[in-house]
Structure 1
């Protein structure tokens, strides 16, 4: 039997739906603005003022010039390297630390955990961190963006909490069969914790993809620059000259504007495509790491 809904309930549902639609539009519009601007005809776009609801004409010249820029190509390849290698190292180090801190009868694990948590509240600062990277010989190298950030405290806590949810009986039965800690970790604990591993891959991957400040501090060789640092130069320093050499003098300024938006799209889309593949694990993985401490 269907229960009749009151006028107040229907009004609440309608206002709730309207609010969610409004929030969706507010969230989606900046992305659509950048997309429309990137494919607009440059001379028509620079004359437009106000809200942009559709492209001003259509051309892919800005994207062509972006992909012809050698800095963009090298930045893409460097960013892919940082994301793949950095995320792999992050998952490995975080898994090892979480496993050690989640097992029973580990000496001093509570004291070690307290010291690790303190790093979330007290930081040595930028200058000591720079001197450390310099003194161990990582300055101006790929590893300056990977090794110093091999593990983050928050992600370690989340993964540790997830590993604690694995039944102790599985570990005990594996040890009776002669399994070592390596076997238990990689063949029992991690396979049973795939949701939180997927969340960590997403967190670390997005972090590496968007990271530019460390590159600005530690890198001087442009061949090592990640894509986000190249994007910063284009947007903040207005460095689009190398992408406009084939454009006539009168059109240089207009197409320089659309190149900026095309560069943003090129830098944003790949990481957006990653989320749908991990979405089914996302909520479950975050909740596993938040329920129990």
Structure 2
């Protein structure tokens, strides 16, 4: 089919709009990165706004990584993200697969419960009391177990499983395969897009863990990266200079801390973008 000039002009317009939107989204990150790498004198000289620094210094990053709490918080956050995402995917898969089978007894009631918990929760105080009674207070598991399954992700994965051809399951059952074997050898290998999509949701949630950390963890040695970054951002000039070299100003340290907390997720996303897009589309076809 030959495309007309109007279609091509429309495509160019869309590309221009997308480029402008991308630029608007990129500018704040460039500003934060520029300030974190620029000597503070140059930042002041340019009125506090830097996008492309003329000279580069890594003093802020060196100073941050020289602090034990930053290194420790990185380890805590990596543990929460890796272990938490693995647990999330296993439990979500084990819950979504049975719900995707239309012959499951009580399926309607179970789906109602899942949707209900997505819209309503028990509240902060009851949840805190449950976490306390289960002995998870001041533990890294308090930032993993309470959100082991997200109802929204269960529905996405369930919808994806429902798009798989029923003939595959019938053929496997005729060959004597049980449900766990069907799930592990047929469903999971075919569900890489939705696994990557849901895994990204869980991974980002764990990497940005903040609320549960300040709710359930009082031990500073167990604070994840986002809480430590918050502490750095809230410190005044005098308080910060008690702990770090005076040659590294507060603003530069703050921007460096934001970059440290953001870059890992930004680097991971391009590698799973293809699966992420496909998983979101296929997972939303059926309800």
Per-residue CA deviations over 1:219-247 (Å, capped at 9, x if unaligned) read: 01111110011001111244634651xx2
Does residue 159 (structure 1) correspond to residue 153 (structure 2)? The answer is no
Q: Is the 8 A contact 1:36 1:56 kept in 2?
A: no
Equivalent of 2:271 in 257, 274, 277: 277
Q: Residue in 1 aligned with 2:87?
A: 89
Alignment of 1:141 with 2:139, yes or no, is yes
**Residue 290 of structure 1 corresponds to which residue in structure 2?**
284
Q: Deviations over 1:178-219 (max 9, x none)?
A: 222111111111111110001111111011001111101000
Kindly state the Cα deviation for residue 280 of structure 1 after the two structures are TM-superposed: 1.5
Match of 2:196 in 1: 198
Shift of 1:44: 2.7
Say if 1:41 and 1:57, in contact at 8 Å, map to a contact too. yes
- Contact kept in structure 2, 1:41 and 1:56, CA below 8 Å: no
Counterpart of 1:224 in structure 2 is 222
Distance in structure 2 (CA, Å) of the matches to 1:97 and 1:81: 24
**Aligned CA distance change for structure 1 residues 53 and 161 (closer, same or farther; 3 Å):** same
Q: Secondary structure, in 3 states, of the residue corresponding to 1:148?
A: helix
Normalised TM-score (structure 2) = 0.93
Q: 2:256 aligns with which of 255, 262, 282?
A: 262
Q: Unpaired segments of 5 or more residues in structure 1?
A: none
Relative to structure 2, which stretch is displaced further, 14-23 or 226-235?
14-23
Q: Name the CA distance, whole Å, in 1 between partners of 2:47 and 2:269.
A: 33
Query: Are the aligned partners of 1:37 and 1:56 in contact in 2 as well (CA < 8 Å)?
Result: no
Distance between the aligned counterparts of 1:9 and 1:175, measured in 2? 51
1:281 is displaced (CA, Å) by 0.7
- Aligned equivalent of 2:167: 169
2:40 to 38, 42, 48: 42
Shift of 1:15: 4.6
2:176 is aligned with 1:178: yes
Give CA deviations for 1:136-187 in whole Å, capped at 9, x if unaligned. Answer: 1111101101111000000000000111112222122222222221111111
TM-score (normalised: structure 1): 0.91
* 1:211–1:3 CA distance, 2 compared to 1 (3 A): closer
Counterpart CA distance in 1 for 2:23 and 2:271 is 24
Q: Which residue of 1 aligns with 2:113?
A: 115
Aligned 8 A contact 2:138 2:219 in 1? yes
Unaligned runs of 5+ in 2: none
Taking a change above 3 Å as real, the CA distance of residues 9 and 85 of structure 1, as seen in their structure-2 partners, is closer
Count of equivalent residues: 285
Task: Give the structure 1 partner of residue 128 of structure 2.
Answer: 130
Instruction: Write the distance in 2 (CA, Å) between the matches of 1:5 and 1:214.
Output: 54
CA shift at 1:84, angstroms? 0.5
- Name the SS for the 2:121 alignment partner: coil
Question: Aligned equivalents of 1:212 and 1:93: distance in 2?
Answer: 22
| Cα distance in 2, alignment partners of residues 83 and 242 from structure 1 | 32
For the 8 Å contact 1:68–1:243, the answer to whether it is kept is no
**Whole-Å separation in 2 of the counterparts to 1:112 and 1:132:** 22
